[in-house]
Structures are given as structure tokens and as C-alpha cells.
Amino acid sequence: MSLETLKIVPLGGLGEFGMNCMAVQWKDDIVVIDAGLMFPEDDMLGVNIVVPDISFLTENREKVRGILLTHGHEDHIGGLPWILSELNVPVYGTEFTLTLVEGKLEEHKLLDDADLIEMLPGSSFELGPFRVSPLRVTHSLVDCVALAIRTPVGTIVHTGDFKIDLSSPDGHPFDLQSFAELGKEGVLLLMQDSTNVDRPGFTPGELAVLPRLDEIFARTERRLFFTCFSSSIHRIKLAMDLAHKHGRKVALIGRSMDNATEIAQDLGYIDPPPGLLIHSGQLKDMPPEKVCVLISGTQGEPMSALSRAAVDNHKHARIEAGDTVVFSSRVIPGNEKPIYNVIDHLYRRKARVIHDDGRSGLIHVSGHASQEELRLMINLLRPKYFIPVHGDYRHLTQHVEVAVGTGIPQQAMLVEDGEVIELTAGSMSKTGKVATGRVLIDSGSATEAVEEMIIRDRKHLSEGGLVLAIITIDKMTGRQQGAPEIVTRGFAVNEQAMATELRQTIAHTIESSSIEERRDWMLIKEKVRSDLKRQIQKSTGRRPMIMPVILEI
């Protein structure tokens, strides 16, 4: 690879949703954009989170100058504990983003060694040969930025997650002017969020939910339970404003809801009127028509506050007949079953549930740009080259078509994780591939990877069950002492008949082995495993995990 080109190396987020991470390299200097995670798929048993393989960064650790964060969602900051445990470099983010990062790093005992540096929208700073300019964008979270990075070959722009909202509830609208000025200055490469590329038109602004929510607050006669993503600070603020307007006190229930609201209050994004917030313990003493409960658990998480309240198992959140529960959020693909389980339980409590009632008006809006906003951004920046980011292969493909359709980029390229893009002032090309992939982090940890073999074993156990054969052998003679003990788990057969059959198989295996073989317990264990596997498959057609245990006496 030429040393006189700018290299773009995506390590995650191109070809999947989540795990966003991208390296930008000029000679001996690398900056990283975002450090996200993705949540495990159903077959990743016992896995807590999935993070990108950062072999490329660890192999070039002396060149990495820092990590730039576009915003504070988990798919952009959730992999930081893993990455910083391997590669302790400065982390740059806006005030709200870094506050979320601090809590995450403190939880994993990494905060004391972390170097967190605040960046301000509109204020540029130097990082090696790069000049970084954060630009204010709007999203479903507050304090989000796109990144304009001036490099020796030209300016590249990474949008992060965005939509164009000119009436954001926090008073910080999308900075159209700065993007237009950047376009006049000249943009070499635009890397743009592909999440909603399959949606025509414009994404509604956050205030678009206000009329319908106002109607719900006005018409609700008893308790109102309101659930949304705890990171949706705009939505939480709107709910508080409406509660105040309609004479309701607000109780916060759920750790994530409580933490996010506390941070937003500390940083001035939420400023509830005096006396609006009450402790959850006061709910039982309040008239039902005078309370609004902001509760976490919008995705039906099993131990969330809403899930427990739905089965009448929460200390303070009691949902009764006639209460209203509003889901002001989207269903994340894969979460349909737990969400509808919670909704079923709410109906059993005779609650009124509003999640997607088909009536006029919106109770939730997306935080990502639709097709017309994507085209508007391209028209503002007028980039020479274009790469779609953040999405499955189908989203990236469609996004290339949208970009080409504007007639502006000279070249639009579909890129996947690991592909190395070399960029000069007059060319863009793929020149190689680096190692990428998914690192599976075990439950209860953010820094301990799980080997693929362990996941295979867990899957094998979940599908086939376990057969444990405990065999006692005389160390001197190599003969069995007593009948083997057979233990089965998750293996539905006639246990007594199967145990008899397996004991006979073990006896035959040992008796047919030479004295020398019997004295080598590692060898005899493998022979027993092989013979038991053959016998079980012949008798039942099943393939459980088989574990012979040899006890020598």
C-alpha cells in the first residue's frame, strides 16, 4: 500500500447494524471513528455483547492517536471498555457523550486510566496530521456530531447517525449553515448513515409526536405509564412538559431511566419545574389521575421495570385496570416476542396499551435520515467521492444508488468491513483487506472474549444435551471397579434402559482394550467417548455432548 494515500479501514458497521468502528490512516497516524457494539444473536449462547475485532489497531498501536465519538448510543460507544482494555488511547466526545462513557468505564474499573477529552461543535482541533471539526447534527439522542476531518489529500466527512431536524426540543437544531459552508470549501469524501435509506421522503422531527401525545395525556383518566428508550432525552423532556401541562406529577422508575434523566438534568437538557418530580414510593399516595410514570423496559427486557410491573411484581409500579401504558418507541427487530409478551400481560391487567394503534398522529419518530434528507446532505456537501456506512448490505447497495442518482459524486463505492480504501485528491480505490470479525464477550464482562469453540459447545449442549459417564478404574490392573455411573441432562430418553445399554458398551470397550491401553486413562477415555457416541447415535439418532470421567483408585 502506498504511503502517500489516505486509507479508510472500516472495522465494523458496514454490512451489519451496530459495532460501528472505522480507522482513518495517513502514513504513521491513525484516528478511529466510534467504538460500538452489537447485541448477540439468538445462537450466541451466554454472550453478553459483540464487539469488532481490532487486530488492525493493536498491530498498529503506536500509530493510533485517538478515538473520536459521534454520539453516545451503544452501537457507537459500547465497545469502548473492550477496546481501551487492549489499546489505551485518548477518547474525544461531546459533553453528554463523555458523561455516558464515564459511567461505562467506571463500571468496568477503567475510568482512572482513561484520557477523556471534550470536543465542542464548531470548534476545531488538531490530532496528528488531521484537523477535526465536529458539526452539530440532530438524532434521537442529544449532543450528537458529524465529523469533518481535514487531511493532507482533502476533507472527509463522516455523518455519524443523523436526521435533519430544524426544531429540535433541546434548542440545538441541525447545523445546515456549517454543512453548506463545508460544501463550498470542498469535500473529497462523504461517508453517510444508511439506516433509513429504504424510507422515502423526510424523517419527521422530534416535535412531530407532540400533538398525539398531548391528546393521550388529555384523555387519560387514570395513571399514565410512559416508556421510551432511556437515551431519548427529547422524548423524556416532552413527556415531562406534557405531564406538567395536564397537572400530573412524574415518577421515574427503572435504573436506566433514572440515570439518563439525572445526567440530562445535570447538563441542562431537562429542567423540570419545581415539585414536578416525585419519588416512586409516593405513587401509592397520589390520585391515579394525577401521576405519570416514566418507566424503562420499552423492548420487553425480562428484568426491566416495565416487565416486572406487567406481572405485578414491582414494589412501586402497580398497573391496574383502566391505567394507560404508552410505548413511545420502535420495535427493534428480534425483540418482537418479549415486547408482545409484556403487552399481553398488560392486557391481562385490563390496562389500555398504546404502541401502534393506527390512529392519526405519531407516538414515535425515527432518529435517522430518510431518502430526501440523504439527498439534501449530498447536495449541501457536493462530495467528489461517496461511501455509505451503518447498515446491512442491502442498505449500503440502495444508498449507493441514491447517491449516484443525485449526479453529484464522481464515484460511489460499496465497501464492507475490512476492505482498505485508498484515497488521493483524484482517486478512490480498494487496495486490500485487513483482518476483521466479531469478538464475543461473555456475560458479566466487557473485556473477556469467548472462544468460538465455547459457543459451539454451548450450542451443542442446548441442542443435544449431555451424557456424563463416570468410570472407576484400578490404577494397577486397569480393570473397572463397580458399574459406571451414567448422568444425563437435556437428553430425553428412557434413562434406565439407556444407562444399562451404555454400561454394557463401556464394559466392552475396556475389556477389549489391552492392559497397556487401560493404564493410559487419556487413551481409554477417548475410546469410551467414541464408542458411546456411536452407540447413542445408533440407538436414538441423537448426538449429545459425551464426557467420560475416569477415576483412578
Question: Mean pLDDT lowest for which of 43-52, 408-417, 461-470?
Answer: 43-52
Q: Is 367 annotated as a binding residue?
A: yes
Confidence of residue 447 (pLDDT cuts 50, 70, 90): low
Q: Which residue type sits at 429?
A: S
Contacts of 115 (CB under 8 A, 6+ apart): 88, 89, 90, 91
* Closest to 222 (Cα-Cα) out of 323, 335, 313: 323
* Residues belonging to the active site: 193, 368
Residue 184: per-residue pLDDT: 96
Residue 63: per-residue pLDDT: 97
Whether pLDDT at 445 is above 60: no
Whether pLDDT at 452 is above 90: no
- Work out the burial of residue 258: count CB atoms within 10 Å of its CB; fewer than 13 is exposed, 13-18 middle, 19 or more buried: middle
Q: Which residue has the higher pLDDT, 149 or 491?
A: 149
Per-chain mean pLDDT for the chain: 89
All 3 cell numbers of residue 126?
488538531
Spatial separation of the C-alpha atoms in residues 156 and 173, rounded to whole Å? 22
Asked if 63 and 105 count as a contact pair (C-beta separation under 8 A), the reply is no
Name the pTM for this structure. Answer: 0.81
Q: Are strands 144-151 and 224-227 parallel, antiparallel or unpaired?
A: unpaired
Confidence of residue 1 (pLDDT cuts 50, 70, 90): very low
Residue 48: per-residue pLDDT: 66
Q: What is the pLDDT of residues 267-301, one digit of tens each?
A: 999 999 999 999 999 999 999 999 999 999 998 88
* Closest to 371 (Cα-Cα) out of 161, 137, 197: 197
Confidence of residue 42 (pLDDT cuts 50, 70, 90): low
Asked if 467 and 486 count as a contact pair (C-beta separation under 8 A), the reply is yes
Q: What is the pLDDT of residues 504-538, one digit of tens each?
A: 888 888 888 877 777 777 788 888 888 888 888 88
Residue 337: per-residue pLDDT: 86
Q: Is 108 annotated as a binding residue?
A: no
Q: What is the pLDDT of residues 12-22, one digit of tens each?
A: 999 998 899 99
pLDDT above 70 covers what percent of the chain?
91
Q: What is the pLDDT of residues 194-250, one digit of tens each?
A: 999 999 999 999 999 999 999 999 999 999 999 999 999 999 999 999 999 999 999
Q: Is 366 annotated as a binding residue?
A: yes
In order of start, what are the domains of the chain with their CATH numbers?
6-202+366-435 (3.60.15.10), 206-354 (3.40.50.10710), 452-552 (3.10.20.580)
Residue 532: per-residue pLDDT: 87
Whether pLDDT at 453 is above 60: no
Q: What is the pLDDT of residues 96-107, one digit of tens each?
A: 999 999 999 998
Q: Is 365 annotated as a binding residue?
A: yes
Residue 262: per-residue pLDDT: 94
- Work out the burial of residue 95: count CB atoms within 10 Å of its CB; fewer than 13 is exposed, 13-18 middle, 19 or more buried: middle
Whether pLDDT at 2 is above 50: no
